[in-house]
Amino acid sequence: MTGVIITGALSGLFFGLAAFPAGAAGDLPGPDLVLTNSASRDHIDLTGAWTYSIDPYRDGLKSFHGNGPGLGHRRYETTDVEAVTRENPTARYEYDMRREKIVTLPGSWINHAPELRHYDGLMWYAREFDAAPEGDERAFLRFGAANYTAHVWFNGEFVGRHDGGFTPFAFEVTDLLEDGENLLVVGVDAQRTDQTVPPPVTDWETYGGLTRPIRLVYTSETFIDEARTWLGRDGRIMAELALDGPGAAGQAVSVTIESLGLTLDGRTDRNGMWQGSIAAPDTLSLWSPDNPTLYDVTFAAGDDTLPERIGFRTIEVRGTDILLNGEPIYLRGISMHEEELGSDPGRIMTEPAIRALLSEIKDGLNGNFVRLAHYPHSELTTRLADEMGLLVWSEIPVYWLIDWNNDDTLAEARMMLAENMMRDMNRASIIIWSVANETPVGDARNSFLRKLIADVRQRDDTRLVSAALLTESTTDNGTMRSWIDDPLADDLDILAVNTYNGWYGGPDLDGVDDIVWEARHEKPMIFSEFGAGALAGFADEEARRKFSESFQADYYRATLAMSENIPFLKGMSPWILKDFRSPRRQHPVYQQGWNRKGLISETGQRKQAFHVLSDFYREMQTAGTTQD
């Protein structure tokens, strides 16, 4: 079962319906609440000390006969176990969240304690906090992400469940909020099943837990749930709002961009929604990696105002070109997992941690593009990409072997896609929504992915759609030919391929740059992945074995040389910026549980290949082959 239990009328269905087609909502799924830019609202930040309790057999959810959890296991109850057992010595409780171990959240439980290193079961977290609600304001619990399934109780009441490890969700708790002490208990289950997205087997660490900020957000009785503004390809600034609350219908609204001297205003319709547009002023400075101009925008409706920082740009394809603000661009990128630098990461993505990674791309590699793999990364990452000037590929983890025939899996993927898009609709940096990675061609898969692609197009026609595809190849007379033979290619704007010639197969390195890539579609292609493993510090200049820095550097030189022979190749995001944890990588000398295809080690040590790519991008930049 996916999604959440909450109030709120039609919001969530409206947002981003591609450029105002009336009534296109149809069966477009979406969360009931978006809470655009919730961090800017009045809130209690619940970052900090939480107690936790492991529950491998899920006794807190079900009894061993499959009924409701026994009295002694209900970790979500507000019972003060110590006080009760003091009162009644025969009382029996097999938990006490108040006297449990304490950890700092957000962050995965992977390094709460050594024994949790590979734990992917149910974990209970509890947090008490004081609140002083005022007047008729409303209150919402908003989670940045919980990997994978979250069961949430507030002051002993069940408020909802959310499935999906990488997107935000919210529950209204206005009627449950106490003036004084409150208790929030969350059961987070990291277990992956054939139904989940991603499925059980991936090439990255699970990082179970409450991995992103948790807030109690206050709003006025009627508030702006969704707000968006962007530059249309017709040169008009578009805007839309969706209100939530009793006063949503017929409400006066406005969007102001003071520094442009620009205000759009109007009145919401009976569903609390409004759309408007205005010609863009000549003074508008277009957002680009070289000129990441962001404007302060204020959305207003009744007594509610919502600030945002937004860049205006257009992105489109024409033939085999990718056009940013109407000019051809080459995506000088790299792929990245959501894992901070360090030898014992916990997916604790603070601003400094994210800046450290993004500046390695922008300043270290001379890059202008990052593929955030294979799932939606933190909202902070996409906001920093806006600010620092990095174009972004945003992806949902429809990865490898998904249960294509399972309607619940499709519903989960569609909801994840909607939550991701609606969280980041205002991010100028995001130019590509990706719906899949390395999925085997087949009827069930094709229709599953076409449903996702249709959802993207219905919700947002201002960005490009892609997926990381596999390639076909053949070798005749010693020359290898590669091409894309995927029916999905017809449905995508950009054809992205993962290619590992010289590492997972294909010719040896000295044959890689002779590979001929055949264009079978009049569309731009990018390399969404290529890469080779190397243990930092193991140079092996003589033998140049796989897993050595010298081999990795040779591999990059050969693959980059090959890339220069492909006229319709308009970008790349090699695999990968940093060595990352993967349970599939267990070579005792070279890997020790890390995928070593990073250009920097887990602690940030640059490998030889880092400089090969950095030089290649600098030459491209200085040659001005494309605008930035």
Query: Could you list the residues that contact ligand GCU (CB under 6 A)?
Result: 203, 374, 437-438, 498, 529, 575, 595, 597
Question: Which residues are CB-contacts of 264 (< 8 A; sequence separation ≥ 6)?
Answer: 237, 239, 254, 255, 276, 277, 278
Query: What crossing angle do the helices spanning 443-459 and 407-423 adopt, rounded to 10°?
Result: 30
Least separation, in Å, of the C-beta of 583 and ligand GCU?
12
Order of strands, edge to edge, in the sheet holding 315-318? 315-318, 321-324, 327-328
Q: Measured from the CB atom, is 229 or 498 closer to ligand GCU? A: 498
Q: Measured from the CB atom, is 335 or 608 closer to ligand GCU? A: 335
Least separation, in Å, of the C-beta of 577 and ligand GCU?
12
Bridge partner residues of 189 (DSSP):
122, 149
Q: Measured from the CB atom, is 189 or 602 closer to ligand GCU? A: 602
Least separation, in Å, of the C-beta of 599 and ligand GCU?
13
| Closest alpha carbon to 151 in 4, 347, 346 | 4
Q: Measured from the CB atom, is 20 or 504 closer to ligand GCU? A: 504
**Closest residue to ligand GCU in the complex (CB):** 203
Q: Measured from the CB atom, is 218 or 575 closer to ligand GCU? A: 575
Least separation, in Å, of the C-beta of 504 and ligand GCU?
7
Q: How far is Cα 122 from Cα 558, in angstroms, rounded to an integer?
A: 46
| Closest alpha carbon to 176 in 158, 160, 161, 154 | 154
Whether omega before 292 lies within 30 degrees of 0, making that bond cis, reads no
Helix (H) or strand (E) holding 611: helix 608-623
Least separation, in Å, of the C-beta of 225 and ligand GCU?
35
Least separation, in Å, of the C-beta of 201 and ligand GCU?
11
Query: What crossing angle do the helices spanning 351-359 and 379-388 adopt, rounded to 10°?
Result: 50
- Output the CA torsion sign for 61, 67, 68, 71: negative
Q: Measured from the CB atom, is 434 or 626 closer to ligand GCU? A: 434
Least separation, in Å, of the C-beta of 334 and ligand GCU?
13
Residue found by looking up tokens 């992977």 in the block: 110
Q: Measured from the CB atom, is 31 or 574 closer to ligand GCU? A: 574
Least separation, in Å, of the C-beta of 438 and ligand GCU?
5
Bridge partner residues of 147 (DSSP):
209
Q: Measured from the CB atom, is 595 or 608 closer to ligand GCU? A: 595
List helix spans (H) across 285-398. 351-359, 379-388
